[in-house]
A and B are shown apart, each in its own frame.
Chain A
Amino acid sequence: MPEPDRAQSPARASQLADEEAIVARAMDGDRGAFTQLVEHYQSACYGLAWRLLGDPDMAADAAQDAFIHAYDAIRGYRGGLFRSWLLRITANASYDILRRMQRRPTTVLPDPADGVPELPDLAAPNPIAEAERGELYRYLDAALQLLTEDQRVAVTLCDVYGMDYDEVSLMTSAPIGTVKSRIHRGRLRLRELLEPHRELFGAERRQAP
């Protein structure tokens, strides 16, 4: 399975400065303002699509579908976090593709040594911890792709992108009880898959409150 480009993986995009004003201009039909918004969040959308679909081309297609849909629907945007709104649209676009393709994971957990090693952020207070975190994320993404489709979608939407059970239930057309069960089993399966690499969680544990 092709790995996403991590050489310049951005951290989670924070909220855009003056986002409300830019959104208002985009709602008035300002294409430049809309471009500014989408440019800012394209990595977030692509990341979500890649995690749901596991394929860079399909993820790019899903992200583009989402942008076009968002452009058409922005007049109906009713406030709240624009990032969450855009991610919901991306998740729906990805899920539509997923339903069409009905793909199933067939690959094994890759060795991160095969991928492009991420350079530690030398400006970080603890470069060693940052390097560990980068490797952990590679394993996490690879392990996510080994979950069943239902579990991967539920865990990605809930644990990675912070959607609540109701949203996931609505998006996947599954009862809340089913969604909870998929998330629980998915987390347990992830833990199992990452058991041989538990030392990678050291940095997370040290950072945990």
Chain B
Amino acid sequence: MDPMTHPADERLAALAGDELEARTDAGLGAHVDECMRCSTLVTELRTLQTALSKLPDLVPSRPLRLLPPVPEPERAPTGVFGTLRRLAGPALAIGALLMVVGAFGSVGSGLPGGAAGAAPALVESASDAARAAVGSHQPSPTATGQFSRDSASPAVPVARGVSPSPRASTDEQKSVATPSPTATPLNRAPTDLSGQGANLYPLILLLGTALAVSGALVLIVGRIRVP
């Protein structure tokens, strides 16, 4: 390199930074060795870099927060409201369960699904029993409290165990053992008795809904009051 033609200052800065590309440039090195201006520049840049590398750390202008804040544990509410809040979760869960049981039970028992559907069934079974009693002039429940299949006819009801003939007795036993596929008003009476249990399903549904709604309300209010 011509000693009178100075390399670009950026090349000299690269040399001062000890960059491989500049360091291995023989022409650049030879020029700097001979040129006072360029060697001074390189020396000053190296001095500057040394000074920069020794710049001290600085004291923060204000106290720094060194850690993220620990999330505060949720404060347990006390008193009556606290008790309600503690009960709200389980109440909601139980209410939901009762709602499901009530809803499925109502559908499964063939009821319309409400308390209004249960009442006609009870009335109907009661009037059936009354009609049977009037028709026979003599209440004739068997020893077990059940009516014979044939007792719907005006004939004398047959008490179980007092069979007029062996054949009749066999028929009776059959009728007791295998329920008739076609329900008559009288033999529907025992089913209605169990139907009284099925009629509880709307009540269960109602109770479940009330519990779930109350629980949800308490939880919502609690979240507003205790953020």
Contact = CB atoms under 8 A, between A and B. Distances in A.
A137 interface: yes
A64 B62 CA distance: 11
B51 interface: yes
A2 B47 CA distance: 27
A5 B59 contact: yes
Contact of B60 (A7, A60, A141): A60
Interface stretch (A17-25, A102-110, A177-185): A177-185
B59 A185 contact: no
A12 interface: yes
Contact of B66 (A9, A12, A39, A198): A39
A4 interface: yes
A113 interface: no
A148 to B, nearest CB: 15
A57 B61 CA distance: 7
A158 B194 CA distance: 88
A162 interface: yes
B61 A187 contact: no
Interface residues of A, number: 58
A75 interface: no
23 contacts: A5-B59, A11-B56, A11-B57, A12-B56, A35-B66, A38-B66, A42-B66, A47-B58, A60-B61, A67-B64, A67-B65, A72-B68, A133-B54, A137-B55, A140-B52, A160-B52, A162-B53, A181-B10, A187-B16, A191-B48, A201-B51, A205-B43, A208-B47
A169 interface: no
A201 B47 CA distance: 7
B177 interface: no
Given A68-B68, A133-B54, A183-B17, 9 more contacts: A7-B59, A34-B67, A38-B66, A39-B66, A42-B66, A46-B59, A63-B60, A160-B52, A190-B48
A123 B59 CA distance: 21
Q: How large is the interface on B (under 10, 10 to 19, 20 to 34, 35 or more residues)?
A: 20 to 34
Contacts of A137: 51, 54-56
Interface of A: 2, 4-13, 31, 34-35, 38-39, 42-44, 46-47, 50-51, 56-57, 59-60, 63-64, 67-68, 71-72, 133, 136-137, 140-141, 155, 159-160, 162, 180-181, 183-185, 187-188, 190-191, 194, 198, 201, 204-205, 207-208
B62 to A, nearest CB: 6
Nearest to B46: A208
Given A35-B66, A43-B59, A188-B45, A140 B14 contact: no
A42 B64 CA distance: 8
A136 B51 contact: yes
Contact of B48 (A56, A185, A194): A194
Contact of A13 (B50, B51, B57, B61): B57
A51 B53 CA distance: 13
A191 B45 contact: yes
B53 A159 contact: yes
A137 B213 CA distance: 70
Contact of B68 (A57, A71, A140): A71
B53 A160 contact: yes
A79 B47 CA distance: 32
Contact of A42 (B17, B43, B47, B60): B60
Contacts of A6: 58-59
Nearest to A205: B47
B38 to A, nearest CB: 13
B68 A46 contact: no
A60 B66 CA distance: 11
B9 interface: yes
A68 B66 CA distance: 7
B19 interface: yes
A194 B53 CA distance: 16
A58 to B, nearest CB: 10
Nearest to B57: A43
B34 interface: no
